């Protein structure tokens, strides 16, 4: 999304996965074989995109979402079968942010509320967690009752973020089987894995992972910006100095999601202005449903869900 310069020798390799203004081209592997992945991505220790739609056959792609031509939505009928499962949820309301653990049914109701009619009365799904959030569940009666002058835009958003697959019911785990690449490329074991579900825009701030990461898009569109380990450390250090803080790069908390640190990190990573000193160090990829991105160990990255409607992702950290 930024960049004035392209690597001329690799312009032809830029595809719809990558911004047309990409600074550093992320290699799109010629095939999805274990050998190619191991040699050109895993062992080479560089970000790489798998061939387009390599993961479109994951059951979750078909089962979890309704493919409306205008707006992607969750398949509530299917997911509600597992409504009692407890999942981590991030709730944001302007500059306020909190994390909680609630049932999957709670999350589904929040998503339904956030995409329906709103008024100024607090709703039980939000007010206990985010002060002054406004939302009501949609019903035919309330839609007919409220005039346009009383309606207000939604103020609270929910994001099912980093829900460990191992903690999900077996039926949902079966919908996201571990890819062969993850099992065969490294030592064959999984450090952890997560599900991410939320309506765009979604946001994950700049961070690094302690293990290699295969990130797969299930629905919607996400843009990922990556930095080499040394560049990421420099950005993090600059932000800490700018806000007068001294946080640890390996122990990250809610401070990344609100206040001065959130604003400063987002400015350094997503600002397309030429004054941004890290502009030429950005690697960027855009992922749609079925696309997969390999993120090497230690590479810093930030992720945004863009467009309209639901976004969904799954990732596996492996050794």
Give the model's confidence band at 154: pLDDT under 50 very low, under 70 low, under 90 confident, else very high: low
Q: What digits encode the pLDDT tens for the residues 168-225?
A: 999 999 999 999 999 998 888 888 999 999 999 999 999 999 899 999 999 999 999 9
Share of the chain above pLDDT 70, in %: 78
**pLDDT reading at 136 higher than 70:** no
The pLDDT of 286-294, averaged and rounded, is 97
pLDDT top residue among 99 and 22: 99
Under the banding of pLDDT at 50, 70 and 90, the label for residue 115 is: low
- Residue 105: other Cβ atoms inside 10 A: 16
What domains can you pick out in the chain, each with its CATH number?
Answer: 8-58+176-318 (2.60.120.650), 87-159 (no CATH)
C-alpha span between 274 and 142 (Å, rounded)? 49
* E-strand stretches of 2-45: 27-28
Which pLDDT score, from 0 to 100, does residue 250 have? 64
Exposure of 237 by Cβ count < 10 A (0-12 exposed, 13-18 middle, 19+ buried)?
exposed
122 pLDDT higher than 70: no
Report whether pLDDT(29) > 50: yes
CA atoms within 13 Å, Cβ hemisphere of 170: 0
CA distance 181 to 42: 10
In whole numbers, what is the pLDDT of the chain averaged over residues? Answer: 82
């Amino acid at each position: 999304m930024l960049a004035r310069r392209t690597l001329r020798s690799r312009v032809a390799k830029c595809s719809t996965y990558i911004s047309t203004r990409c600074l550093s081209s992320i290699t799109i592997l010629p095939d999805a074989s274990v050998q190619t992945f191991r040699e050109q991505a895993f062992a080479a220790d560089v970000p790489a995109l798998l061939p387009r739609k390599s993961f479109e056959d994951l059951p979750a792609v078909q089962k979890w979402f309704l493919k409306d031509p205008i707006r992607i939505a969750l398949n509530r009928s299917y997911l509600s079968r597992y409504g009692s499962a407890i999942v981590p949820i991030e709730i944001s309301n302007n500059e306020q942010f909190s994390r909680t653990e609630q049932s999957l049914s709670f999350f589904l109701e929040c998503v339904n509320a956030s995409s329906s009619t709103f008024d100024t009365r607090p709703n039980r799904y939000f007010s206990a967690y985010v002060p002054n959030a406004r939302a009501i569940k949609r019903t035919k009666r309330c839609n007919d009752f409220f005039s346009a002058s009383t309606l207000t835009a939604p103020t609270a958003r929910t994001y099912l973020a980093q829900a460990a697959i191992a903690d999900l019911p077996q039926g949902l785990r079966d919908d996201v089987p571990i890819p062969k690449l993850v099992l065969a490329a490294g030592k064959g074991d999984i450090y952890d894995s997560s599900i991410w579900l939320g309506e765009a825009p979604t946001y994950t701030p700049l961070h690094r992972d302690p293990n290699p990461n295969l990130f797969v898009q299930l629905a919607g569109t996400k843009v990922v910006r990556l930095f080499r380990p040394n560049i990421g450390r420099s950005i993090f250090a600059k932000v800490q100095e700018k806000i007068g803080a001294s946080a640890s790069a390996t122990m990250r908390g809610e401070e990344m999601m609100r206040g001065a640190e959130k604003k400063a990190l987002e400015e350094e990573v997503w600002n397309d202005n030429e004054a941004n000193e890290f502009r030429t160090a950005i690697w960027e990829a855009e992922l749609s449903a079925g696309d997969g991105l390999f993120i090497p160990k230690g590479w810093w990255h930030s992720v945004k869900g863009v467009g309209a409607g639901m976004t969904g992702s799954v990732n596996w950290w492996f050794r």
